[in-house]
Amino acid sequence: MRGVVFSGPERPLELAELELAPPRPGEVLVRIAAAGVCRSDLHSRQGDWPRRTPLVMGHEGAGTVIEVGAEVSGLAPGDHVVLSWQPACGRCRPCLLGLPQRCQLMASLVAPQGVLYDGTSRLSRRGETVYHYSGVSSFAEEAVVPATGAIAVPADVPLSSAALIGCCVSTGVGAVLWTARVEEGATVAVVGCGAVGLSAVEGAVLASAARIIAIDPLEQKLQLARELGATDALAARSTEAVGQVRELTRGGADYVFDCIGLSETVSDSIRMLAVGGTAVLVGLPAVGQEAHFSPLEVGESERRIVGSYYGSCRPAVHFPYLAELYLQGRLRIDQLVTRRRPLEEAEAALDDLERGREIKTVLEPGAARRA
Ligand SMILES: [Zn+2]
Ligand SMILES: [Zn+2]
């Protein structure tokens, strides 16, 4: 099978023929139908987040189960699944507490080592080990993943939209519903209207927020934000938007979601807050970046700064829930997919994202073969 191999920040991506070993106990083999290109892939390509290489890229994807390993229950060949990049080990304390996004084995073994839970990789190239990316590696025709990272969803959800449930939709909607637990009538500002920010806008609609202020310098993104339910759209960078948000909300927003994760967007998000407001850090910066804020202002106004990882979602419960909302027309995902490309064009898709040309490109491994 073929996959997109990343060998280091200065090296071009390569679509290579790879060997994929069959699933071991607790694992499943999935034929990838769609893989979303996400900002985290850009961070990886730029070397912002060190990873063991060579690896097969991609952490957002959906497809069809082809084979299940021993000790797997609840999944069968033919099932449509959304892949999760935080597959619960099911044994560590956070997993037992129902917080798989904090899984200790993911953080200490699977993600940094580029392996699956038994400490080895199923991927190789002419006998040389190739590593997994966060237990997913979806920029490929097939993937072997932990069964806890393959969540069955109804077959009537198109797989290109289902793929987005695996990262940007859960991250954005979840930040609002499950990290911040925004209450009805609250005022919300969203900094950055890429696929995650737009999903946060949708989350705020689901939470019945009174006012949803979308902030992005690009008009094309704001237009989509309005279509998805933003009540106000500010064509500005975060620093320019601080005063406008404070004015529109008469003193500051109850919740601000920073979906960018730069030093200045973090600081500006905190400055946009009302007394008692909560800044939710959703977008992830490069390793080593820091942000500044006034502890006096945060302290005396009882503002809160909260981190959100994977929207605090529990994939086994929340992926099927988000799929259900999609089928009912209460969550729109198709609109986020602005481009489809074959695997051969992974590099170009990342360039597009870097330059803000597309909201979400979906790679379709089967596309070239069908053509
Ligand atoms: Zn992602
Ligand atoms: Zn765990």
pLDDT at 368: 55
Q: At what angle do helices 263-271 and 238-248 cross, to 10 degrees?
A: 10
Pick the ligand that lies closest to the CA of residue 97.
Answer: 2
Mind listing the pLDDT tens digit of every residue in the chain (371 residues)?
A: 999 999 998 889 999 999 999 999 999 999 999 999 998 888 888 888 888 999 999 999 999 999 999 999 999 999 999 999 999 999 999 999 999 989 999 999 999 999 999 999 999 999 999 999 999 999 999 999 999 999 999 999 999 999 999 999 999 999 999 999 999 999 999 999 999 999 999 999 999 999 999 999 999 999 999 999 999 999 999 999 999 999 999 999 999 999 999 999 999 999 999 999 999 999 988 888 999 999 999 999 999 999 999 999 999 999 999 999 999 999 999 999 999 999 999 999 999 998 989 999 999 998 754 44
Distance from residue 367's CA to the centre of ligand 2 (Å): 35
Give the closest residue to 305 by CA, choosing from 328, 281, 338, 326: 281
Cα–Cα dist 68/203, whole Å: 34
pLDDT at 371: 41
Question: pTM for the whole thing?
Answer: 0.95
pLDDT at 370: 45
Homologous superfamily (CATH) of 172-309 is: NAD(P)-binding Rossmann-like Domain (3.40.50.720)
Fold annotation for 2-166+332-370: Quinone Oxidoreductase; Chain A, domain 1 (3.90.180)
Cα–Cα dist 24/32, whole Å: 18
Pick the ligand that lies closest to the CA of residue 103.
Answer: 2
Letter for the amino acid at 64? Answer: T
How many CB atoms lie under 10 A from the CB of residue 313?
A: 27
Q: How far is residue 108 from each of residues 10, 52, 266, measured CA to CA in Å?
A: 26, 13, 27
Distance from residue 59's CA to the centre of ligand 2 (Å): 18
The string of DSSP letters for 28-84 reads: EEEEEEEEE--HHHHHHHTTSS---SSEE----EEEEEEEE-TT--S--TT-EEEE-
Distance from residue 171's CA to the centre of ligand 2 (Å): 19
Distance from residue 144's CA to the centre of ligand 2 (Å): 19
Q: Is the backbone peptide bond immediately before 54 cis, with ω within 30 degrees of 0? A: yes
Distance from residue 134's CA to the centre of ligand 2 (Å): 13
Asked whether 83 and 150 are in contact (CB, 8 A), the reply is: yes
Distance from residue 285's CA to the centre of ligand 1 (Å): 13
DSSP E strand boundaries for 222-284? 232-234, 253-258, 273-281
Distance from residue 111's CA to the centre of ligand 2 (Å): 12
Distance from residue 231's CA to the centre of ligand 1 (Å): 26
Distance, CA of 129 to chain centre:
26
Structure tokens at 270: 């905190």
Give Cβ neighbours of residue 116 (< 8 Å, ≥ 6 apart).
24, 27, 110, 122, 132, 135, 144, 145, 146
The string of DSSP letters for 176-223 reads: IIIIS-PPTT-EEEEE--SHHHHHHHHHHHHTT-SEEEEE-S-HHHHH
Structure tokens at 104: 């200790």
Give residue limits of the domains in the chain. 2-166+332-370, 172-309
Distance from residue 87's CA to the centre of ligand 2 (Å): 8
| Token pair 């807050």 in the structure block, residue | 273
Distance from residue 73's CA to the centre of ligand 2 (Å): 18
Q: Which residues of 131-158 are buried (b: 16+ CB within 10 A; e: fewer)?
A: bbbbbbbbbbbbbbbbbbbbbbbeeebb
Distance, CA of 317 to chain centre:
17
Asked whether 181 and 280 are in contact (CB, 8 A), the reply is: no
Distance from residue 164's CA to the centre of ligand 2 (Å): 23
Give the closest residue to 346 by CA, choosing from 161, 139, 183, 167: 139
